[in-house]
Structure 1
Amino acid sequence: MGTPFLLERYRRDRRNLLEFLFSEGLIRAPSRTSIDLAGLDLDSISADYVLDCLESGEEFDPSEATRRYFDGLKYPIMLNSSSTNSYYFVSEPEISGSPPRRAAPRLSSGMKITTNGTSSQVAKHDNLIGRDVGISGESRTKGVATADEPSRLLEDKDILSLGLPGLSTGISDDEIRETAYEVLLACLFCGGKVHFPEEMKKEKKTNFLKGLRSKREGLSSFPVPEDSHSDFLDIIRVQMEISEATNAFIRKGSRLSNLREMNEQIDVPCISLNLISVLYKLDFPSERLRMQWQRRQANILEELLGSVNMDSKMRETLQILLRKLRSIEEKVSDVYDGFFEILSLIKRYASKLSSMPGKYGFQSKAYYRTASYQFNIKLYEKLLYSVFDILEDGKILEEADEMLEVYEFTWSTLGITQKLHNVLYAWVLFQQFIKTGEFLLLKLAVLEMQKVLSHKNDEGTEEAYISSLICSVESYGSKRFLCLVDAIFFKIYLWCCYQLEDYHLHFAQEKSAIFGSVVNLAVLTQTTSADECAENKYFGSMAGNIPEWKLFHFFIVKSIQAAFKRACSLAENQSSVELKHPLAIVAHELKQVAEKEYTAFYPVLCQKYPKSGKLAFILLHLLYGERLKPFLEGLTHLSESVKEVLAASNTLELCLAHKLSSIYGDNVDSSATKYVHPYQISHYCAPLVLQWIHAQHDNILEWTKRAVEIEDWEPLSSQQRQAKSAVEVFRIVEETVDQFFSSNLPMDIIHLRSLLIGIVRSLEAYLLHIVNQQVDVTMLYPSTPALTRYAESIYPFMKKKFVQLTTLEEKMTFQLNTLTGPKLCVKLNTLHYIRDQLDTLEDTIKHSWNLVQSGFGLADYFSRISNGKSSVDVNVNLSACNGSVDELFALFDNVRRGAVTTSKMMLDFIGPRVIFWDMRDSFLFSLYRSSVNSARLEIFIPLLDQVLDRICDLIIDELRDQVVLKIFQASMDGFIWVLLDGGPSRAFSEADVPLMQEDLAMLKELFIANGQGLPFDVVEKEARLARQILDLFALKADTIIEMLVSASEQTAYHLKPTTGGRSCANDAQTLLRVLCHKKDGSASEFLKMHYQLPKSSDYDDIPSKEERTSTSPILSDIFRGAASGRRHPCDVGAAGRRRPTHPPPVPTFLSNSHCRHQCEETSKY
């Protein structure tokens, strides 16, 4: 931000604060009256004095405040900083000579450094002034330090300075502003556009905010008459920060002067001299203000009159007159009779100069247009700056157009033409845009510049005049002398170059609209070819000979290079902090640069330079590739840092390929392809990725074995009923899959196959562990008691025979005890969870692989364009790859089949486990023992109900019906076992059949559960065999014997029975056992006569607790000839359900001697 802007901001803020303090009544007025702000010059009172009055509560004295202010001007300004103190000299350093060579004396440690009130106050205000903020919101100082801009731009201390000739008298910015207001009032009064009344009514405004009343009341919405321009003077006064006291005596001077009676063109010296001649001491609110004003007028006259090439004697005389004019304190003729003589001599000089012949076709009396053009231009700039709202620097007043029309009355006095107005207004708008960043100002500046370019000169007269307005500008290490219009164009162009040579730094993502306007402004103001800026080291032939293309080619190359250097510098600083490799950080930063280039800058640049995207993305690829190549050549193993670099590099290359492909496809100029060098990440990392996958195989397998070995097969929670080991295994697998696909490394189908093999190996090991924990289901079934015929015991106290049982091994017993019903439920849930997770995992891998394959064509994009190939072959390879991937996932089918088989094994085991092992005492060994009435099924039902409730709480809904069905099937098998293989202690009469049928119905109702359990038809189907066997017990013994004989004849001459299991209740095995357990004398006689079976009263089949886990070979000894052909109760029949195991049917060819032999073998036990 330039010095004028800082002074303007400081002055406005200072005035606002003082007005607030006075208007709020915080400062005590003399005699407790209110302070009249209209008669108080806030710019000429000491802020330190006001603050002292506020703090101490003393009364405010305006004269003391003014005295303190001017006394403070005699001291140098000092700024305090953290390191040292800075002083501003009152005198000019150039005149003072070189500084002393000796070292400054050191201050003693006890010395206290103090500053006067004025300097400290200035320091405080200076701290409120911010840095020059660029478009992106960052300070320009910061941008210079990080962007590595060209040194030629950095050497310009003020890139926005026009280089107008300096003012020899050192007139301040405030004095120029007040002079511009005086000139405006004089021109309006002289032109008859403003009429001042004789008696000026005192306005009752107390602060400058009321000066904007016309804006808030919508004054501009009403038509303004041609002779009513004075309506805007109040707004202009406030905008130009002219106090009401100053405005009062300026208006009075304009009214009393004779400018309106002059029939010739007025100029600035004429205005100053007329004002000096008509204003007296009483017209000013204070003597100090009058002296300041009179000195300012003398300086103006010296500036304008002294610029003429006159002889030394005349110049010396003029300086003496002006010196006397400055020293005169009052115009009282009887005391200072020389005042009017001095004034008359100065007027004579001014009139002589103004009557000199005009140049460039202008009329006479227009000498000061060219002789003092720099002063006139500064005056007009001050007028133009007043169109900006002083409350909001970035806003233009609603009355701006009317104000500009008013300012046209000053054109003839200040030498302004339409073209000069447009270019100066564009310059003012542009500077205000730089100050505020308001986009509308930039758009208006562009429009004004377009008007300048479209302006037609009047037969060369105006062009010659404008060419005489010379400015001195420095750039590219040399000084140039340009006319005012060219200087403004050149300065704006230099600023655009400064921004566009690093547009990635200066324009944020949301500033794309501003970027577009700056690009248009650079095109409008282009005065230097790209060849003069720098050599195009990269892709110079792409731009051809089109100047505009070469210019933006230069901008893109410089900005990309600057962004790359910033990324490298950032990586060096952050790599040690973030513990990342610098190349990985650089790649990440360049990817963001590419995204920003594609979304924000390319849509604008491609309109000016169609190859802009191609240049930017290929250059990014090239610059990073130069850094990456040495790293790739030194790779030996896939460490974490190497993985980060490879992944980031591959991501960057895919990103750049995607941007280029989406814009240009495969149509890349041959002039750029020679700079394309693919990174070939896949060539370097393919073996390293495969090595990493193999290491993950062992890691997953080790974790799987560890998890399953310590598994206790308890549910994870009430909602998650699977084992925690399965969750852990899939967590490890998913983490590996995520690492595989999130690595952003190029991969092919070999890597995917190796990954799937590792997953399958781990899951198969998990399933194998579950299978190895299983026990053969045959171990669950109790020993089959000896076949006997019913007979009442004649001697109840006779010692009975016992069956010798074989005890199970301790290891087998331990395994059976660990396979409880709840644990089996958890295992079934886990197997189902494995199948579900496997499906999810497959979908996830396929989706991730498809995403990887979507970039398959981009992976070798740079290779294709460097070799001139098309993308047709890529599509063919992609289709073939997709077919091979579908075949790879068949590996998961092996795991699915293994899980299904293991689940079936569990289901076949859980029913017999519950009935034949857990409940053998309460069910198998207790039901109907000795008599039906004393051991009914109703005792067993509550226990079974509790078991079902527990299992239903543990098993998932998808498996509940299957598990319950298996338990029901085992219940039917156990019920049939009691009826047919219950041993010598179980014998049933025809009267017992209704009771047993009731028990069967009770058992079925338990599993139907009022429609909430198993389906009715399924229960009836499974209970059909038990119902048929009960019906056999209801038949007469003779009928059953006839059925047995008939069934035996059907199996005649069959040495081995069929292996399909008992398909009905009418086979020989079932009928024989019904006769053995039928409480009937004829049945007993038949069995004694034909089978020589022993009496049931001779045996005791109640086993001890240890013997209940044993097996017996009795049944196999009796039916040894057919033992190899029978099926176990777990076996599946033709109908797909489990059937109880019983001896095979006895063939009719068995002789009595053969039966007798079997009985003798039995009697041995």
Structure 2
Amino acid sequence: MDGDSKDVNGCKEKTMDSAAAGEVGDHSNGEEYSESNALLPPRRGGMSRKLNKPRMKVRWNDSNGNNLAEILEFQPREDGFTSIRIWDSESRFIFELEMLKKLDVSDSGDEEADSCSCIIILLCYYNDCQRRSKIGSMICCYTTQFLAMCPSDILYCFGHLSVARPDYHVDVFENDLVWPFNKLDGIDRDNVRETAYEIFFTACRSSPGFGGRNALAFYSSSNNDNADGASGPKPNGVVMTPTSRIKRALGLKMLKRSPSRRMSSGGNSGSNPSSPSSHCSSGSSPALSYTLPSPRPRRPMTSAEIMRQQMKVTEQSDNRLRKTLMRTLVGQMGRRAETIILPLELLRHLKPSEFTDANEYHLWQKRQLKILEAGLLLHPSIALDKSNTFAMRLREIIRGCESKPIDTGKNSDTMRTLCNSVVSLSWRSANGTPTDVCHWADGFPLNIHIYIALLQAIFDVRDETLVLDEVDELLELMKKTWSTLGITRPVHNVCFTWALFQQYVVTAQLEPDLLCAAHAMLAEVANDAKKPDREAVYVKLLSSVLSSMQGWAEKRLLHYHDYFQRGTVGQVENLLPLALSASKILGEDVTITEGAGKNEGDILVVDSSGDRVDYYIRCSVRNAFAKVLENGNLKEVKGEVSEALLQLAKETEDLALKERESFSPILKKWHPTAVGVAAVTLHNCYGTMLKQYLGGVSTLTSETIGVLHRAGKLEKVLVQMVVEDSADCDDGGKAIVREMVPFEVDSIIMNLLKKWVDERLKKQKECLSRAKESETWNPRSKTEPYAQSAVELMKQAKETVEEFFEIPIGVTEDLVQDLAAGLEHIFQDYITFVASCGSKQSYLPQLPPLTRCNRDSKFVKLWKRATPCSVVGEDMNHIGPHEAHHPRPSTSRGTQRLYIRLNTLHYLFSHLHSLDKVLSLSPRVTPPTSNRFSSSRSYSNSSSYFELANSGIEAACQHVSEVAAYRLIFLDSASVFYDCLYVCDVANARIRPALRVLKQNLTLLCAIVTDRAQALAMKEVMRAAFEAFLMVLLAGGSSRVFYRSDHEMIEEDFESLKKVFCACGEGLIAENVVEREAEPVEGVIALMSQITEQLVEDFSIVTCETSGIGVMGSGQKLPMPPTTGRWNRADPNTILRVLCHRNDRPANQFLKRTFQLAKRK
């Protein structure tokens, strides 16, 4: 398009640089399609000026924005009479292309008209796979090269001849189709195509239309009124109604075009039929009748003309070929084609003067030499020795032609050497015997390249998705090249199958009939493949072709979710049988022997065992799932991963439903459980992702529960699909169901829940461990007189229970029991820790040895009465006069800490009760799944989850209260109670000072201990005080002696002690309880009031009874009664101790005589 402005058909065209910016249009995306088409320009120069219509420069771009052509666009106009737009197209046409007859320069007298190759009306529907745009315009174009960039799907309109675009081999749709025949170095497709036509024409030279006597011509089937479509020959050899046995066998439809389908100018039979302007329309639309000129006389096209048009051979090339054959075959018209070395003959007979320029001749000469090099040196049919002299000379000549043409004159040494070398190499035979066929084009893969180029001529150049109706005749003519190219029927079948399949691919897969035809041809290929004595070259060819076809098909079948959308799903039904057939042939029939005479034998090239359809389904579904996963952008942040998995589950379910609705109905023709296989595959894919997700889940969260519930829902959908799809299977679908590894959502949730509970219990145990290490039993505050560790432990327990019920799952009573059991175990451990405070025995004084009182003389008695006991005096002086009237409590810090322990136990008890109510009354709890829990609770006749802990608290409270009481009495109050009471003399060591201190201690106890624990604590203090009182009377040691007359004062002191407990704490201890606990003490006091003789008698009787002696005999001694610690008036050891503390002679003598007890010092 570059260059100066020119006047084309009278249309003054400006260069693009000078065009106004506002006049430049971009048709890369095109305008919306309108049925108003553009105005047809005149066919004669100068007539366009009469249109008086605005014209604008337009740039035509491809989808990438690359400039393809610069054109003039004529705007549509309305008819002056009818007010309708001229050349409105009918809506049924998608593509329209009209080519007018080439302008005749000699008739027009306009030299500039020679620059215009054609005038085009173009309504183009551009189809780029998924993206479509519409362009409508009428253009005036410089050159037909613009057509090379037009879309592939250009249909003819009004039945007129159109110019084809170049072949599809550079099309984007062929990029993923592997060329199975290896490449030819230095030879492009155009070179192969031209050589193929030369060989074809040479082989068919004696046939009608190629120089024979009668030319065959073909009319369209619509030209015959015969309803049965039968063909009938005319006397001149014209077939009135071409019918195709091959098209019927392959399922290809007849074109059924107008009678002008294959017509040539009647006045110029020798013109180039492939020239774009050599054919014009004789049947025009009514709307064109007043604009288009009258058509010239037409005649049917011969087979030669059809092939020239189909193979895009120029008139000059055709004429040169005819001349060469005429010169070569002078006097040898019967010479067979396979004996002609065509490139050599062309080089010999064609001179540079017969070409447009030297460059054209040089390129043509290089093509011929490259063909010879490929057929004789690079790919010979008979193996060539590297040291072959002729081969070396031929290589030198070919290298010399690279820079300049070689001299082909008769006297040229180079030409003589070339002829000798080529002839010698061509007429070689495998075993050295003479042969009647020359071998210059039958070597693999050169012969296949050439034959494929011939086979591609059967596809209509105007719509390359269609096969010509004359395919039978053309293939029959092509058969004449077999001897030259070394083609056999099996090789032809393979190549023809490839040609059909390749054409389907490179034409954007628009015509499924081509695919079905290729599949039909595979049946012939399969039959050939089963035949014995197959040549290695054939097996190699078959393997490479089928592998390429299978690879292309399987690339789509393994990703059919990506390649086939809702509108193109039906293509799977055509592609799948082809892939299966190719796979079957490869797996069963294609073997090659690796080397001659080797012991390895046949090596299987492809193993097609197994269910391919099953494999396709699984792979495609996995790939579709992977694509969904990739688009989901799964992140490592757990929150986002949970959301992504929820979305992934939804899209997986959608993918399964899409598979069932769209693809499975087709795939079930080959696989009975196609839906089930897809569902199982998706189930396993999602299960893998779920497993990876759960591998990173350390604790149970609401997000995790949501993911698991959604996974469970997805699993139910997929399982249902499998069950429904497998209903008709022999095993009921058990085999395919076994492939599904269950998600086990419920089990996973239970395990995660148990893990969650274990983690919470672990935190509780950690809290307990810290308490054991750091608890000091100091109160939190005056208002919270209990241990800090108990507060923390119970707080964590409540949080655990609350979070437990917030988990969005069905909570069963079994789960609640498991949680409660774990908590209870921790509480029991803590209760044991609280109760670990020693025992009361550690505070009881040791019992002194039993001794008898030593009765004092009268002088000693009078002295003691004059000087009271010094011990009591010293002790009272130590208390001081102020403390005697206002005594302070003697409760130690240790005893107060025991009170805190007691409070802590009651704190636990009260909060365990509230925690138990939460567990028991929660509406989230569902009935138990087993009788384990209910039976265990009914066995204990309790409705509490913490029955054992509650029992433990009660026992711990009893123990701590007891220890605290004995510590208070025997340790904290020892100085005013056990160590001081009745020492030396009862009258001077009464209980009143001890009672004052006791009251203060009890007041402090009530201030520290919580209300619910005060009664038990007070009761234990009472028991300890009564125990101390008894020990003073019975185990007071050598510092205490009692007279029978002292019992009245002792009884009075004990009554005062009882009143303290009856009056303390506003009835914390009932009077009857005090009386019951006081009975042992009162019994001992009663013994102290008895005379010594009575005591001795009672002691003897009770001792004999308890020891089993019965009646004492003469000479028998009473046994020493054991110390039981359970002192009461019926206990012999208690009576004995009263006697030991009785200060009179009878008691002293009885003890000396009976037990030989020592005197007190």
The structure having more radius of gyration, on CA atoms, is: 2
TM range (shorter): 0.3 to 0.5
Structure in which a larger fraction of residues adopt helix: 1
TM (norm. structure 2) is 0.39
Higher relative contact order (CA 8 A, sep 6+): 1
